Amino acid sequence: MKTKRLILVVFFSLFIGCSNNLDPDTLFLSQASDIKGFDPAQSVDVRTGQTIALVYDNLVHFGNSTEIVPGIAKSWRLSSDKLTYTLELHRKFRFHDGTEITAGDVKFSLERLSNSPNAWLFSRIDQITLPEGERGFSVQITLKEPFSPFIQFLAMPATAIVNKSIAKAKDNDLRNSPAGSGPWQLVEWVRDGHMLFSANPDYFYGSPKLSHLKVRIISEEMTRSAEFETGRLDIIGIPQSEFNVWITDPKWTDLIFSQNELSIYYIGLNCSRPPFNDVRVRQAMNYAADREKILKFVLSGQGNISHGVIPPGLPGFDDTLHPYPYNPQKAKQLLSEAGYPNGFTMELWQSQASELAQVMEAFQSYWKSIGIDVKIVKNDWNIFKTAVKEGKPDAYYLDWYADYPDGENFLFPLFHSSESMIRRNRYSSPTVDSLIERIQSMSDSPERTNLISTVDKIIYQDAPWVFLWHSTSYIVSQPWIQGYSTTLMFNAQKYLNVTKEISRQ
């Protein structure tokens, strides 16, 4: 692998010439694929959300961790009945065209969500009122019922505030041309090529220190690595396949950032039909696989073995608990007790992502050793996603990343049995339902945190999944990059304080 990478680096160095491309005023980044567009209401993926955060602003922001900090709103308060949020806006917070953001822009932006893929964010709102009118600076948002994580909804990419007058003039089509107030302004978008942004000199929280930011679309991991080593990219995520090479290279070890992500990887089991409707079978599948070995040798140790749904870093994560140990004898015992002493046959579905092959084959081998014959089924992502939604696979490999940094976001969407939710694993527990509903209505407190841990333990014992790991990302920056730091939430990164210490000669 290192030889192949070296050849690519030499190739790019010879035919591109890295020394001529070190622009001290532009931050060069990359993405594996292009974004969906610049309309916040249509933002449903991480790459689009990261870009939305550059050109738009929200009422509130995620800080470097799980904290909520002021954005367009300078302050907010919640009524005693926990139903109404009153937000006071900063004055002179301006869109890119120079117009001031007022309450009317906020109301318009949030109401747009009701007819978008992010309608679930609006569904909890009963009404939005403007005490000072459209041109005022006060907004009241009344919920249908108490919901403690709601303030975090207002920091998500989809709830970014758009310029009402521009959006209406463009018939609400913001996909190709943003109408925001963020620290960066779009200069050029070459589809599947690059996005170029310039610093917003009038950004309310201070203009970025670099004058430009360019995001290049580079689909191949090896190409991104080569471009980085020739100096044509300033920051990249370390490819999983090259992790051990980078992490042991003394040239880069002091320039690598790690971030425990708010994620959970799992193999979902269809709890609605035999044999997976028996908890003993589901537990057996957890005991039968050595997940630590798979994580260490197949995924280069980039994560933490999970002992539940809640990832480290969120209230409700209990570090005193332990994952299912590797115990094939216990697994065989449980299968026998469940009436499957000779095992059974099943299908394990996955998308066609090539990096999954070794992981899936490892689980296939472990389960075969206790009598479970697994057929791996690979499908196009859209076919795979539809099949999982319809409950076709026996089991499937998926992950979940936090929409907002609250343990409730790892419980309600994935395990509540309400008819409105897509319960991929068909798991149902009246006890879990009731406790999740209590969590949603409670304010942040030790009691709420303990209740999140309690639900997590119940789910872990019920084993509707084979619990795998919480991922860790690794990012490397060039030695000339200063002021960069990682953020827990993907849309909290705005690159405001990044500079480049490169000679301008």
Buried b / exposed e over 231-261, threshold 16 CB at 10 Å, is: bbbbbbebbbebbebbbeeeebeebeeeebb
Looking at the chain, the domain(s) classified CATH 3.90.76.10 span 54-169
Question: Model pTM?
Answer: 0.88
Looking at the chain, the domain(s) classified CATH 3.10.105.10 span 263-472
Amino acid at 500: K
State the Cα–Cα distance between residues 257 and 135, nearest whole angstrom: 44
Is 263-472 in CATH node 3.10.105.10? yes
Tokens standing for 499?
Answer: 């500079």
Q: What are phi and psi of 34, to 5 degrees?
A: -75, 165
Helices 446-462 and 430-441 cross at an angle (nearest 10°) of 160
Residues 441/82, Cβ–Cβ less than 8 Å? yes
Which are the contacts of 267, defined by CB distance < 8 A and separation ≥ 6?
285, 348, 363, 395, 396, 397, 398, 465, 466, 468
Q: What are phi and psi of 435, to 5 degrees?
A: -70, -40
Please, is 470 exposed, middle or buried when counting C-beta atoms within 10 Å of its C-beta (0-12, 13-18, 19+)? buried
C-alpha of 499 from chain center: 26
Second CATH level (architecture) for the domain 2-38+177-260+474-500? 3-Layer(aba) Sandwich (3.40)
Secondary structure element (H or E) that encloses residue 453, with its range:
helix 446-462
Looking at the chain, the domain(s) classified CATH 3.40.190.10 span 2-38+177-260+474-500
Q: What is the 3-state secondary structure (H, E, C) of 31-66?
A: ECCCCCCCCHHHCCCHHHHHHHHHHCCCCEEECCCC
DSSP lists the bridge partners of residue 482 as 499
State the Cα–Cα distance between residues 241 and 244, nearest whole angstrom: 8
State the Cα–Cα distance between residues 217 and 485, nearest whole angstrom: 22
State the Cα–Cα distance between residues 256 and 247, nearest whole angstrom: 8
State the Cα–Cα distance between residues 161 and 252, nearest whole angstrom: 39
Ordered per-residue pLDDT tens for the chain, 505 residues: 444 444 444 444 433 444 445 789 999 999 999 999 999 999 999 999 999 999 999 999 999 999 999 999 999 999 999 999 999 999 999 999 999 999 999 999 999 999 999 999 999 999 999 999 999 999 999 999 999 999 999 999 999 999 999 998 855 579 999 999 999 999 999 999 999 999 999 999 999 999 999 999 999 988 999 999 999 999 999 988 788 899 999 999 999 999 999 999 999 999 999 999 999 999 999 999 999 999 999 888 899 999 999 999 899 999 888 999 999 999 999 999 999 999 999 999 998 776 788 899 999 999 999 999 999 999 988 899 889 988 999 999 999 999 999 999 999 999 998 854 456 789 999 999 999 999 999 988 999 999 999 999 999 999 999 999 999 999 999 999 999 999 999 999 999 999 999 764 3
Q: What are phi and psi of 332, to 5 degrees?
A: -65, -40
Which are the contacts of 422, defined by CB distance < 8 A and separation ≥ 6?
389
Which are the contacts of 348, defined by CB distance < 8 A and separation ≥ 6?
267, 360, 363, 364, 374, 375, 376, 377, 393, 394, 395, 396, 397
Residues 68/491, Cβ–Cβ less than 8 Å? no
CATH no. for 54-169: 3.90.76.10
